[in-house]
Amino acid sequence: MSGESGLSFGHISYLTFESVLQVVIVSFAGFWCAYSGLLPKQGQKVISRLNVDLFTPCLIFSKLARSLSVAKILEIAVIPLFYAITTGVSFGSGKLMSRILGLDKDESNFVVANSIFGNSNSLPVSLTVSLAYTLPGLLWDEIPNDNSDNVASRGILYLLIFQQIGHVLRWSYGYNTLMRWSGDRGNPSVVSVAEQLEVPAVDSTGSSGQLSDLSGRTSDTFYKFQSKFSQFRDKLMSVMNPPLWAMVFSVLVACIHPIQHEFFSKDGFINNTLSDAITQLGGISIPLILVILGSNLYPSTDTPQMSRNYKKLVFGSIVGRMILPSLVMLPIIAMAVKYINVSILDDPIFLVCGFILTISPPAIQLTQITQLNEFFESEMAGVLFWGYVVLSLPVSIFGVSAAMSVLRWAEESHQ
């Protein structure tokens, strides 16, 4: 580790406040755009789609492909384990709050969904990048000539892996079960691809019955194989998305050193043209993410409350997401950093990312899911207001300050 033992808690808090306030100011610009009518709901969806499909993949590629290596890829295997533990603790927190507040099944599912699915994209990415360039003590002494660009790249990598695992769970279990009315399971069943492709063989040869039967079985086997392949391909493509494709290409480029050198060599033609263009497009991503975040926080009067327990749902979701998991996960992360000898745990930005993810507000994408399923939309808006407008600033300051204190504590024990 490379800590700054001379920094006081107050100084760390002030530097964190500067970074968080920068995020808040840009987000407020998006809130004002929505308030003034400059950015209506339809415009928000268009810009959000443009950001997800173009600017964010460029950001991912420009950061990861430059700094990744085979050794680093092997080290990040601990992140899925971290996600599993965090999700389990958050699930228990949501269930506990639902039981304490006496909520019914649908209300309980709503609280559990908000507890499980934290923001691993807009706020954490923006805050991590900002901290990488403003907060001392984040350089990793295991990397020669480490710098702020490398710190930001590693932070984005950690967050991206966490984000993609959460994306799959959110749009499967979250969309189909937790944030859908229990009495209305949604769309009618659709005939599967296999059912469409399994055409019974017809024996039209008369005297060649045995040969026809063999041909029919062969044809049936072929169609079943084709059906399963189509199902696998469809499932794979439904999971993949532009940011994930960007991550895949980043890994490929990083694993093939000559290609990586061509893309990012100092005076290379590809670096001065294609790579620079991708970097410029990626630079738009984070400000645009924050503008959309702020615009989504503007309350809408078109969605009435669907529950008599509105306050309980908002309170349970906030406590189950931002408070209870922190009481369990932050000590676990601190103990792991101090006592477990795994390389990635020694990276200061990994510790900061772990703390930020643990205390982050519910995911903004939950708004989209509630709109699609017409499920507690007004309640979701209330959760986001309290999570982002009221609590994100003080909770983020506490989380980052605590992470730096743990970093200093762990470093002292290693000396």
| Tens of pLDDT, residue by residue, the chain (415 residues) | 544 445 566 777 787 788 778 878 888 899 899 889 898 888 888 888 888 789 888 988 887 788 777 777 777 778 888 999 999 999 999 999 999 999 999 999 999 999 999 988 778 888 888 888 888 788 888 788 888 888 888 888 888 888 878 877 887 788 888 988 987 444 333 333 333 334 344 444 444 455 456 556 666 676 777 777 777 777 666 667 787 788 888 889 888 888 988 888 777 888 899 999 999 998 888 888 788 878 877 766 666 666 688 899 999 999 999 999 999 999 999 888 888 877 788 888 998 999 999 999 998 878 878 877 888 888 888 898 898 888 888 898 888 888 888 888 877 655 5
Least Cα distance to 115 among 317, 306, 413 occurs for 317
**Terminal Cα distance for the chain, rounded:** 10
Contact assessment for residue 387 and residue 321, using Cβ atoms and an 8 Å cutoff: yes
Least Cα distance to 20 among 289, 392, 363, 285 occurs for 392
φ, ψ dihedrals at 184, nearest 5°: -135, 100
SS3 category, 94: helix
Q: Would you say the pTM of this structure is higher than 0.85?
A: no
How many residues are there in the chain? 415
Alpha carbon 103 to its chain's center? 28
Count of other CB atoms within 10 angstroms of residue 40: 12
SS3 category, 198: coil
